[in-house]
Structure 1
């Protein structure tokens, strides 16, 4: 049976015993479609013991060689490339190359699917490892900031007062309206909820104590720190990250300047000033919000409110809340700047690390506040 495919041919010669598969003509890309159909028609009409005759094979390229591999098998084609002495050297070399490439090729193994429990444990382990590495990096960066601050104390001429004042304006004055509004509303809500519950026991007057205690010890500094984490830490990360992506930090180092001294220290000092001031504003606005609700809903006049506040609330609670502000400010600034230095050269990296700085700052602030609350409770402060 003979089937023609343009210049290329293949037929199973049954006139001899045993039958012989004869391949002739040009097996090249222009004849690929018809040659492929020919190869499919011949499939199954011979076995691995059928002799193969390549003496009449003409031109061949990689397309034709791939069809011969499909027709004969890679290993058998490799043996024929060595024994077909009548083939041109270039054709034999091509067949040998195709054979070697087929020998080296292996199907990629599909990774076995892990059990859901193992995958969960793996993800938990990866997350714990990431948190540990981030903690070590943060501690190292905090140490570097403290070292730079210590060196700056010995060289006052290197202080960048203008940059510090500019950052105080951005992080402090510009944030004052939102801090004041938020804490005023939260103070009003706390007073309203306290009055609703305490009125059932005839103790509505103690709403004053509830508002004062909550804002002086916790809400004032905590709400302000969370706002600063979302507003300021993200701004620090975006600013430094954009400079990192644009290779401006490398240029700063090339000029012989210290990025820590130029970029980080002014931001840390500015937030150390701005956050305690905003915390005081938050305490004041929260108490005012509670006082407004007390005056409107409970009939507690401002004079009575202030009198109760002065009689029952000591300055110790104000100091407990205010002493946490510098710690939160330092941590927020350090995390924001560190995430900025981690940015790679893409806008996507800037966005990812900006999000990470906000999440880390809020998480660390809440954890530190919980630890501080337990400490002050045990110390009976």
Structure 2
């Protein structure tokens, strides 16, 4: 073990010559003395450098100009250590008051815009790869893995039916209760039947089912694929020649596409049942009359409008979950961040596209 030391040649190209072991145990006051010369060296000579760790690499990096490309020569260990500790010096400085504070604000805003553009590009790239994978599966059905598909259908769809029914049951009950209180003052409480039917069949059934699918399945897809990424299982699949989209993404997307219409239908039944019960209890509309008036006054078009949204919303939700799962890095923090992002993004997309569909159907007079 040799104590760390250094010398600086003040030539045309100031060169720093570190010597000895630049480790946390051997640095001594070399780092403190070198800090007074921060940014003075333009070149690094590592011919006399002994052992080095992150503490020594950080001290050497601070002696060089910010952003300088350090030539480590044959010392690959030093190069890796510098690459490891360099981000510690490149952390964003805290925002300051006055003009500098505004500059920092615009800098952060610009970074967010650039990041948003990058996310949009990654989303389009994933969508393109998904379309190609789906087309390849249609052309070659043998590529489809039936066992994962059936397992995902049960997990994402069948197991979710009870909670979907219960949620929409209470949503339908609330709609009927609010409608009853409002329409009774106008003397037309019988129109509560139409209100419940149109609201549940056209909007609330499919939206509640999509939000529950986002909370249950998008997070589950992201966590499952993300944990495989952390355990390097996806890398092993790639080495074995297994396509990750065929093995991980396609079964989940198809399961969501197949189960979402069933969940929407269950949600419609639950919402109408909730409205029927409240109408029967508050304004004494019998179940037989409620069902008969629903069939007579609520057009079947409202049902098909709601069902037409289901496959598209399922595709958006499953894609968000799988994409964020494939974005997980090798740490738990990345897993948690991407699972949260998958749920937030899928719920946001559900609400946004539902609004787009509402405007589109209004223009088409449906």
Normalising TM by the smaller chain, what interval?
0.7 to 0.9
SS in structure 2 at match of 1:201? coil
Name the SS of the counterpart of 2:365 in structure 1. Answer: coil
Alignment of 1:15-34 (within 5 A): none
CA distance in 1, matches of 2:337, 2:94: 30
Partner of 2:325: 340
Q: Matches of 1:347 and 1:263 in 2, distance apart?
A: 20
C-alpha change, 1:228 and 1:63, in structure 2 (3 Å) is closer
Q: Give matches, 1:174-323, under 5 Å.
A: 174-323=159-308
Q: Distance in 1 between matches of 2:208 and 2:187?
A: 30
State yes or no: 1:146 paired with 2:131: yes
Supply the distance in 1 between the matched residues of 2:64 and 2:322 (Cα, whole angstroms). Answer: 49
Partner of 1:33: none
Contact 2:193 2:294 in 1 (8 A): yes
Partners of 1:283 and 1:352 in 2: CA distance: 33
Shift of the alpha carbon at 1:163? Answer: 1.1
Unaligned stretches of 5+ in structure 2? 1-26, 38-59, 66-88
Cα pair 2:95 2:105 within 8 Å, conserved: no
- Cα displacement (A) at 1:152: 1.4
> Following TM superposition, by how much is the alpha carbon of 1:139 offset from its aligned partner in structure 2, in angstroms?
1.6
- Cα distance between partner residues in 2 of 1:68 and 1:294: 83
Within 5 Å, give how 1:4-153 maps onto structure 2. Answer: 113=96, 115=98, 116-153=101-138
Indicate how the Cα distance of structure 1 residues 356 and 112 shifts in structure 2: closer, same or farther if over 3 A, else same: closer
CA distance in 2, matches of 1:229, 1:254: 32
Structure 1 distance, partners of 2:162, 2:243, is: 34
TM-score (norm 1): 0.70
CA distance in 2, matches of 1:325, 1:203: 33
Once the 2 structures are TM-superposed, how far is the Cα of residue 128 of structure 1 from its aligned partner? 3.0
Q: Does structure 1 retain, via aligned residues, the 8 Å contact 2:229–2:329?
A: yes
Match of 2:144 in 1: 159
Q: Aligned Cα RMSD in Å?
A: 2.7
Superposed displacement of residue 226, structure 1: 0.8
Gaps of 5+ in 1: 1-61, 75-100
SS of residue paired to 1:376? helix
CA–CA separation in structure 1 for the residues paired with 2:213 and 2:134: 22
Larger Rg: 1
Distance between the aligned counterparts of 2:29 and 2:190, measured in 1?
Answer: 96
**Alpha-carbon separation, structure 2, partners of 1:66 and 1:325:** 63
For 1:361 and 1:189, locate their aligned partners in 2 and report how far apart those are by CA, in whole Å: 25
Match of 2:72 in 1: none
2:312 counterpart of 1:353:
no
Q: Quote the offset at 1:114 in angstroms.
A: 5.3
SS in 1 for 2:312: helix
Using the TM superposition, give the Cα deviation of residue 131 of structure 1 relative to its aligned residue in structure 2, in angstroms. 2.5
Aligned to 2:11: none
Distance (Å, rounded) in 2 between the aligned partners of 1:66 and 1:123: 33
Deviation at 1:180, TM superposition (A): 0.7
Report the Cα offset of residue 276 of structure 1. 1.0
Task: Give the C-alpha shift of residue 142 in structure 1.
Answer: 1.3
**In terms of mean alpha carbon deviation, does 181-190 or 154-163 score higher?**
154-163
